Amino acid sequence: MKIYRKFIRIVFFAVILTSLLACTQQPPPQIHGELKKWHRVTLSFEGPQTHELADENPFLNYRLNVTFSNDKNTYVVPGFYAADGKAAETSATGGNVWKVRFTPDAIGEWKYRVSFQKGDKIAIADPNEKGTSAAYMDGQFGTFVIEPSDKTGNDNRAMGRLKYVGESYLQYTEDKNYLIKLGVDAPENFLGYSDFDEPTNALGLLKDWEPHSKDFPQDAIPFLWKGNKGKNMFGAINYLAREQLNVFSFLTFNVDGDDRNIFPFLLKVSKEEYETYTQNKKNLNAWRTLFYNTRLDVSKLAQWERVFQYAETKGMFLHFKTHETETDHLMDDGVFGTEGKLYYRELIARFGHHLSMNWNLGEENNQPTEEVLKVAEYVHKLDPYKHHLVLHTYPNQDDRYNDFIGDQSPLTGASLQLRDPDFKDVHPRVLKWRDKSNASGKKWALSVDEPGNAKIALLPDDEDREHNLARGNALWGTLMAGGFGVEWYFGYDSPNSDLSCQDFRSRDLFWDQNRYALQFFKQIPFWEMSPADELTADEKSFCLAKKDHIYVVFIPMELKTTSLDIGTSGKEFSIQWYNPRNGGAFVKGSVVKVKAHGTVQLGFPPEDRNKDWVILLKEI
């Protein structure tokens, strides 16, 4: 027995020694990127030679995690299989490169330690569940030094990571500013793009973004792939940024949905066979019959990352819509399991390092509450950066949020959809969920991401040049209710619709009005203010206030003026008027000063009394 135990110990230590020797013989990771705070740092490892369709599934049966730490923080960041490491350029399907992407939040020395394990479905196992060592880089460790960022302006790397901080607005970690998010919710099939590898043209909806070829900027050249691929999409993003919009959204999976061209998984059939199948809209079993459900398209995902990288430099908020109502029941037949877990792990590993973003668990989601909670908990635990986490639901089913507010879920906000053609439901709906979430003890950050009637929503300039209702009821209606942003839905019955849009200039005149709203809110401490419609003497205006200090009143077109209860502090307040239609400087109206002795008359603007105006009262 003693000899047997001694033999077992020898074997055990031999295995450990062999593993350590294998680790020490492995080359250290290549570290790519600018070693600066808030910049993407990529560690590339030499791992097992494999390919996307290998018998031993490289996505599911290997788990690469890298723990990054400094004196204050520790992040466990999931890694991913990267084929030859250059797949955006080569379209490689095989290789021995594995990567992890990290955005450090502090200067100085960072340590890293690598875990690379192998086992049946180990990638999606509980973090405490151990597989067996996969050798190669398993156990490697090292350090690198991070310098300050040199970025300025609207580049996200100048502002830092955008975080949910328990308030109604998301905050940038570096400059401590709060975000007002204004941009586009359409087209939802933004990533259905002809320049990505193996593009499909199901239902004839594949995009080339040709109208934005003229907007391609020179600073996007480093992000192109395969020569000039990506130019038109970069042009579209550059156009949005030039209009000072700061968000665009996109589905990352729409198999059997409205478009059917966006998926990070591999097809089992040729793209021609897939397109033929989708021509019959009643064919809704593609996910089960035509796809490898746990095999990823490495090169396409690498090309997606080029797009998101460039957007980062333009200060864009990336709205990841991970499902739509047609797809949220497909993976694992609607019960959160292997397919869904792998999908979210891959999204987090490949894209979670971006600084300004949210995970939306489903557009028009109608899954059972218990399944949504499973997904939310999984994403929250796996995401090392704890990005803003939201759910989008039908406009007439928003009471579902009652199941998720407070400590019932890790959700930190709602992505609201409305349906009134005149946008009249926006302001009260934001107030409703602001009040409900606040009362739960966990303030949600709320965004209106699909305002208006599904058929028409935000019309093109050719059909509505002034956009009075969208501006007053939706744009200002959201912001004056304490919502942190609006993303504009284009409807399905207009040119450049929610699915067919390839030209953001179709709403060019309206983007100016968004910019004017953003310029206004940059001049007030909106994060310290609260909706206070009860302070005005009418039922049509909106009021946002930090009582006894600053008040903002939005006067709709049909109202002309109102009066406001500014308390009895005796303080003196200046009154200035702002034009939400044309922007510009503040102007004086018929009343320029008031004292806080209860309700005061606000007077009239200097012109255009039949138009909407914004009034700013500040203590002198």
- In this structure, how many other beta carbons lie within 10 angstroms of the beta carbon of residue 440? 15
> What proportion of the chain, given as a percentage, has pLDDT over 90?
95
Please indicate, yes or no, whether residues 469 and 560 belong to a single structural domain of this protein: no
pLDDT over threshold 70, residue 23: no
How much is the mean pLDDT over the chain?
Answer: 95
Can you give the pLDDT at residue 16? 43
Can you give the pLDDT at residue 609? 95
CATH number of residue 588's parent domain? 2.60.40
Please indicate, yes or no, whether residues 313 and 424 belong to a single structural domain of this protein: yes
pLDDT over threshold 70, residue 13: no
In this structure, is residue 3 part of a structural domain? Answer: no
Please indicate, yes or no, whether residues 412 and 548 belong to a single structural domain of this protein: no
| C-alpha distance from residue 107 to each of 44, 144, 210, 383, 602 (Å) | 21, 10, 41, 22, 50
Run of H or E residues at 473: none
Instruction: Report pTM.
Output: 0.95
pLDDT over threshold 50, residue 17: no
Please indicate, yes or no, whether residues 118 and 175 belong to a single structural domain of this protein: no
Please indicate, yes or no, whether residues 165 and 48 belong to a single structural domain of this protein: no
In this structure, is residue 17 part of a structural domain? Answer: no
For 171-179, what is the mean pLDDT?
A: 97
> What proportion of the chain, given as a percentage, has pLDDT over 70?
96
Kindly indicate the confidence band of residue 104, based on its pLDDT and cuts at 50, 70 and 90. Answer: very high
Can you give the pLDDT at residue 8? 43
Please indicate, yes or no, whether residues 46 and 129 belong to a single structural domain of this protein: yes
pLDDT over threshold 60, residue 41: yes
Can you give the pLDDT at residue 4? 44
Kindly indicate the confidence band of residue 25, based on its pLDDT and cuts at 50, 70 and 90. Answer: confident
In this structure, is residue 305 part of a structural domain? Answer: yes
Strands 62-69 and 108-118: antiparallel
Last residue in a domain, options 526, 552, 579: 526
In this structure, is residue 93 part of a structural domain? Answer: yes
In this structure, is residue 253 part of a structural domain? Answer: yes
In this structure, is residue 2 part of a structural domain? Answer: no
Last residue in a domain, options 480, 511, 526: 526
**Residue-wise burial string across 167-203, b where 16 or more C-beta atoms lie within 10 A, e elsewhere:** ebbbbbebeeebbbbbbbbbbbbbbbbbbbbebbbbb
176-223 pLDDT, tens digit per residue, is 999 999 999 999 999 999 999 999 999 999 999 999 999 999 999 999
Q: For the CA atoms of 258, 300, 124, 331, what is the dihedral angle to 10 degrees?
A: 20
Please indicate, yes or no, whether residues 475 and 332 belong to a single structural domain of this protein: yes
Can you give the pLDDT at residue 278? 96
Please indicate, yes or no, whether residues 289 and 347 belong to a single structural domain of this protein: yes
Task: Identify whether the C-beta of residue 558 lies closer than 8 Å to the C-beta of residue 569.
Answer: no
In this structure, is residue 16 part of a structural domain? Answer: no
**Domain span at residue 578?**
532-619
Please indicate, yes or no, whether residues 274 and 406 belong to a single structural domain of this protein: yes
Can you give the pLDDT at residue 614? 98
Please indicate, yes or no, whether residues 310 and 388 belong to a single structural domain of this protein: yes
For 238-267, what is the mean pLDDT?
A: 97
Domain tally, the chain: 3
CATH number of residue 211's parent domain? 3.20.20.80
pLDDT over threshold 50, residue 14: no
513-530 pLDDT, tens digit per residue, is 999 999 999 999 999 999
pLDDT over threshold 70, residue 2: no
Please indicate, yes or no, whether residues 216 and 357 belong to a single structural domain of this protein: yes
Please indicate, yes or no, whether residues 57 and 179 belong to a single structural domain of this protein: no
Last residue in a domain, options 84, 117, 146: 146
pLDDT over threshold 80, residue 1: no
CATH number of residue 88's parent domain? 2.60.40.10
**Residue-wise burial string across 503-539, b where 16 or more C-beta atoms lie within 10 A, e elsewhere:** bbbbbeebbebbebbbebbeebebbebebbbebbeee
pLDDT over threshold 60, residue 444: yes
Kindly indicate the confidence band of residue 78, based on its pLDDT and cuts at 50, 70 and 90. Answer: very high
283-289: which pairs have CB atoms within 8 A and are 24 or more residues apart? 284/256, 284/326, 285/256, 286/255, 286/256, 286/260, 287/255, 287/256, 287/327, 287/330, 287/331, 288/330
